Amino acid sequence: MLCLGIETSGKTASAAVCDGERIIGESILYTKLTHSQVILPMVKKLLEDCSLTLHDIDRIAVANGPGSYTGLRIGIAAVKGMCMGLGCECCGVSTLMALSFNVCAAKGTVLAVLKARTDVYYLGGYVSDGDGVKCVYPDRVCTAQELKEYAQGIDGDVIIVGDCCGEVKELLSGMENVRCAPPKDRLQRASSLCFAAMGCEATPPERLAAAYLQDTKAEKDKAHR
């Protein structure tokens, strides 16, 4: 099965094509959240480089959160449009689960962490067996103290992955079993999204939605009126 992955949840825009065994092609660009300008041209160029068209794709996977509210909406809207037009299946994948696949070759507990705001994080806990990952601590919003308490209860090696690795490593200073993923593996990438999607159920395009994990700014503003 050929899977096209589209990742727009953070500061990288990324697209990849995988067949379950190999990465056929992948593009990654550090965009600083200009996904609307780059993601569709990136997909077009990637498919051309792989000698493929959208009609060759069996499934399109997209990061559905948590992450940048705007970035998630851009990726999800693009995938909805492509899948409705092509009639192929789509799949929404947790950004944190996809991040954990960046380091799935290393056995241990993966802390997939993204910065939400000051002293608040998006956190998911995953166990890697050297081949794949299993969720053991469902994605959530947590405080720095809650993150620290969870990490302190983990036996064995702990690997931090995400956009605030250094900050979290400092928070967990003194824990000798904790290390950061290598710099090349810390941010979101579409190939990891594809491999994570292989174990997820397909979703009808009209039901594909973002899992923000916390209220958007518009919802917060409305609640305070």
225, part of any domain: no
> Domains in the chain: how many in total?
2
The verdict on 139 and 119 lying in the same domain is yes
- From the number of C-beta atoms within 10 Å of its C-beta (0-12, 13-18, 19+), residue 150 rates as middle
Range of the domain at 36: 3-94+188-219
The mean pLDDT of 182-200, rounded to a whole number, is: 96
Let me know whether 32 and 113 are in one domain.
Answer: no
pLDDT in tens, 17-46: 999 899 999 999 998 778 999 999 999 999
Here the CATH number for the domain that contains residue 126 is 3.30.420.200
Dump pLDDT digits (tens) for 125-146: 999 999 899 999 999 999 999 9
- Given CA atoms 142, 147, 153, 154 in this order, what sign does their dihedral have? positive
